[in-house]
Amino acid sequence: MESSARLRRTPLNPSPRLPATCSKAASIAAALVPVIVVIVALNAIPAQSQLKQRLRTHHATNAPVFYQDVLPILQEHCQICHRANGIAPVSLETYEQTKLLADAIRAAVENRSMPPWFADPGVGHFSNDPSLSPEQIATLVTWAKTGAAAGDFRHAPPARRWTSSWTIAKPDFILTMNPVALPPRGDVEYTYEILPTRFREDRWIRASELLPGLPANVHHAVVYVRPPDSRWLRGAPIGKPFTASSLASEEDRRAAHWTDSDVLLVYAPGSSPDDWPANMAKLIPGGSDLIFQMHYTASGKPGK
């Protein structure tokens, strides 16, 4: 099993974040709403039955359709897992696949079990929260309830290109782990590999991603930055996979499970790579090593 972490580096841009302007735009929009209401009130008010009829027509002609309304949501929020060779059991890439699951999709988005997100909504907002907005949920629910129409494929967004390759931009630097032989079954002890960056000077990392060779066998992975002054796992081999129990010294065996080293990235199936905003970066001090800590799982067949 091979894994690589890829890094993009740029000098840190020290300019402060720009203040958010959307709240101002929102309050202007809100201020306009009463004006619109006044105009409606000036027009003749349709009789109740006429109004209902109009709403029905509006609804029928505006029912969401797959290519125009549903597919963009799937591309943005679901396909990272629901695609060919993705980690979810079913693909949501074509109309045919999605229509079959329309009712299951309705149920999953209504009860917010999909996309999976386990943060307590009472604890602030997370910038990588993949949850659907109430409007997106309404679109998927209405689509499922109104016959899951296809619409016109010419309105489809371009297919999202999912490769088994990097999802962040072209890397400046790639480190590749050596193959690890995995047993067909049973627990697999955490596997480590220390790879030197050979950076002569400090580097700022703008984005990083881990690409597992056998995604089905990776429960999760953490990549740590070991700066040159760290004593962590100094007795362990370099450039060769190892487990804690294989280390010669008792101290290293114990130390494998604890560190104060900075985390470069954490990978779990379906997680998105770290692609930080333009004014953020992570420091890798010159001379650092990256330490891969892999939690592999047996998948029923041997792997490498």
Please report, as ranges, the residues that interact with ligand HEC according to CB under 6 A.
77-78, 80-82, 87-90, 101, 104-105, 108-109, 114-116, 130, 132, 270
To ligand HEC, the closest distance from the beta carbon of 263 in angstroms equals 20
Instruction: Return the structure tokens found at 197.
Output: 């960056």
- For 196-228, the DSSP string reads E---SS-EEEEEEEEEESSGGGEEEEEEEEE-T
What minimum distance in Å lies between the beta carbon of 121 and ligand HEC? 17
Rank residues 137 and 156 by Cβ distance to ligand HEC and give the closer one. 137
Question: For ligand HEC, which is the closer residue by CB, 215 or 227?
Answer: 215
Nearest one of 76, 238, 233, 87 to 157, comparing CA atoms: 76
Q: Give me the sign of the Cα torsion angle 133, 138, 139, 141.
A: positive
- Read off φ and ψ for residue 32, nearest 5 degrees: -80, -25
Find the shortest distance in angstroms from Cβ 269 to ligand HEC: 7
Other beta carbons within 10 angstroms of residue 11's beta carbon come to 9
Apex CA 40: angle with CA 37 and CA 42, to 5°? 115
Distance CA 8, CA 19 (A): 26
Name the residue nearer to ligand HEC (CB basis): 8 or 77.
77
- Pick the closer one to ligand HEC by CB: 107 or 280: 107
Least distance to ligand HEC, CB of residue 48, Å: 37
Name the residue nearer to ligand HEC (CB basis): 90 or 168: 90
- Considering beta carbons, is residue 139 or 191 the nearer one to ligand HEC? 139
- Closest distance to ligand HEC from the beta carbon of 75 (Å): 10
Q: Half-sphere exposure of 247 toward its Cβ, with a 13 Å CA cutoff?
A: 25
Residue 260: HSE in the Cβ half-sphere, 13 Å Cα cutoff: 3
For residues 137 and 280, which CB has a smaller minimum distance to ligand HEC in the complex?
137
Minimum distance, C-beta of residue 267 to ligand HEC, in the bound complex (Å): 12
Q: Cβ closer to ligand HEC: 12 or 141?
A: 141
Rounded Cα distance between 267 and 216, Å, is 13
Q: Are 105 and 121 in contact (CB under 8 A)?
A: no
Which residues, including other chains, have CB under 8 Å from residue 14's CB and lie 6 or more apart? Answer: 279
Minimum CB–partner distance for residue 107 and ligand HEC (Å): 7
What is the C-alpha to C-alpha distance for residues 167 and 275, in angstroms, rounded to an integer?
10
Q: How far is the CB of 57 from ligand HEC (least distance, A)?
A: 29
Residue whose tokens read 């990392």: 205
Contact 226, 287 (CB under 8 A): no
Q: Of 298, 280, 297, 231, whose CA–CA distance to 258 is shortest? A: 231
